[in-house]
Amino acid sequence: MASVALVLAIALLAALFMSFTVGANSNSAPVAPAVGANSLSVLRAAFLVGIVAGLGAVLQGGSISETIGRDLVAGVTITPLAAAAALLTAATLITIGNSRGYPIPSAFTVTGAMVGAGIALGGGFAVHEYVVILGFWFTIPVVEGVLAYGLARGLRSDSVPETLGIPLLGGAVGYALANIQLTVIPTASGGQGSVARYLATASHLFPTTVGGSYTLGMVAVSVTCGLVALAGTRLILLRNESAGIDQFLVVLGLVVVFTSGGSQVGLATGPLEAIFETDLQLPSIYLLALGGGGILLGAWIRGPRLVQAVSNEYASLGPRRSIAALVPAFLIAQLAIVLGIPISFNKVMIASIVGSGLATDSSGGSGVSPRKVGITLGSWVGSMLGAGIVSYGLYHLLHVLSAGG
């Protein structure tokens, strides 16, 4: 009994360690464009990341947990020992990359570690799930790169005035925000609901469906939110265009940080979802709070280094190209949450930054460091394979030690 309690305590500490690492590593990237555009200082960015990502973890977290905890390995249920092995492996590898200034993608690393631990536990490969996840991962750079490049070119075009292009993007983000899934808005089926769905349902507004469960009332609420965001963005631009662009860039970055917290917390808490439900019999909100607290501390303590690395070493973006990088990152991340696919925000943000950076500036430079990007791509592949191997071995080592104790 004491041995089981010890293993469970190690698993909880490993989840806290992992969430701390995620806060230091993955959640810093969305504000990097704002820092690179000199719209936000490094220290202030790290402070805001901690608070906003922590809130995102609690208010929008949990969507990726089931995939991480139950769907990556077939035929077995992840035990506290396996969860501890996977989380310790992933967090350690990410911390090493973080300390050397190279962001290691948390989703790649955690996925590899969970598969390694699950196979060591006696499970089988969930091939169908891997195909879906890998397909989404390989699609991200292409889709994001194209979107970010197109938006950057459009925002830098003389034919598109600032007071039109940026407010339109603000309106699109406002529309999307009305539809993001939040844990504080449950649905009748037990899932997460959106502001648009809640307001439309509560007020019985245009209940006619326009596709699946999406109603005309939800469209009306979403359009209203989009128009409010559009009008607000246009107002701050008309008041002071330069300052307005900077303010919009900071707000947009924090919106993406909120999304990253909601997505990334599942990487730390997912392996423990079943344990909380069965062994501890506690609601998942406590687990999300643990992850959110770890993310907050990680962002405050270790985040500045990664903010500096991503903002200054990957690309030298101006405000317009930074905005063009953030919008696709936000949309892709929210789609991943809806589909329950774990993603790395390092990968998401770097793909957007590269795509936006390729929209050459007046001096003819793209602002992209090919060497840094190449090293990062290698670290992505190596982190997943290495995490699987290390986690497999660590599980067997911990199993032997626990049995001997």
Tokens representing 57 are 């973890």
Please tell me the predicted confidence (pLDDT) of residue 362.
Answer: 45
Question: Domain count of the chain?
Answer: 1
Backbone angles phi, psi at 73, to 5 degrees: -135, 135
Query: According to the model, what pLDDT value does residue 156 have?
Result: 81
Question: Could you tell me the two tokens for 197?
Answer: 């769905």
Return the pLDDT at 395: 93
Specify the pTM: 0.84
- Predicted confidence at residue 313, as pLDDT, reads 52
d(CA 155, CA 381): 34
pLDDT tens digits, 45-77: 888 989 999 999 888 877 788 789 888 998 888
Per-residue burial over 294-304, b if 16 or more Cβ lie within 10 Å, else e, is: bbbbbbbebbb
DSSP reduced 3-state for 180? coil
Q: Where are the alpha helices (DSSP H) in 270-283?
A: 273-275
Can you give the pLDDT of all 405 residues of the chain as single tens digits?
446 777 788 888 888 888 888 887 777 777 876 787 677 888 888 889 899 999 998 888 777 887 898 889 988 888 888 998 999 898 888 778 767 766 677 888 899 999 999 999 999 999 999 999 989 988 988 898 899 999 988 888 878 787 889 999 999 999 999 999 888 887 766 667 899 999 998 888 888 887 778 889 999 999 999 999 999 999 999 998 888 888 898 899 899 999 989 888 888 888 888 787 777 777 778 888 899 999 999 888 877 777 776 666 544 667 888 888 889 999 998 999 888 899 887 778 778 878 887 775 544 455 556 666 666 667 777 888 899 999 999 999 988 877 765
Structural contact between residues 53 and 288, judged by C-beta atoms closer than 8 angstroms: no
Indicate the residue type of 405.
G
- Helical segments of 100-215, H only: 106-120, 127-156, 162-177, 195-202
What does DSSP say about strands 124-125 and 209-211: parallel, antiparallel, or unpaired?
A: unpaired
Q: Which pairing describes strands 73-74 and 124-125: parallel, antiparallel, or unpaired?
A: antiparallel
C-alpha–C-alpha distance, residues 71 and 206, integer Å = 37
How far from the centroid of its chain's Cα atoms is residue 2's Cα?
36
The Cα 345–Cα 325 span in angstroms is 12
Max alpha carbon distance in the chain (Å)? 72
Nearest to 256 by CA among 24, 67, 20, 34: 34
Burial-class residue 142 by CB neighbours within 10 Å (0-12, 13-18, 19+).
Answer: exposed
Domain of 123, in residue numbers: 2-404
Cβ proximity of 11 and 80 under 8 Å: yes
Q: How far apart are CA 3 and CA 1, in angstroms?
A: 5
Residue 75 CA, distance from chain mean position: 28
Collapsing DSSP to helix, strand or coil, 316 comes out as coil
* Confidence at residue 220, expressed as pLDDT on a 0 to 100 scale: 94
| Terminal CA-CA length for the chain | 11
Which H helix or E strand runs over 98? Answer: helix 80-99
CA 117 – CA 126 distance, rounded (Å): 13
Cα–Cα dist 165/245, whole Å: 11
Q: What's residue 389's pLDDT?
A: 94
Rounded Cα–Cα distance for residues 98 and 107 (Å): 15
Place of tokens 């600032």: 162
The encoded tokens of residue 250 equal 């900071």
Write the pLDDT tens digit of every residue in 80-95. Answer: 889 989 998 988 887 7
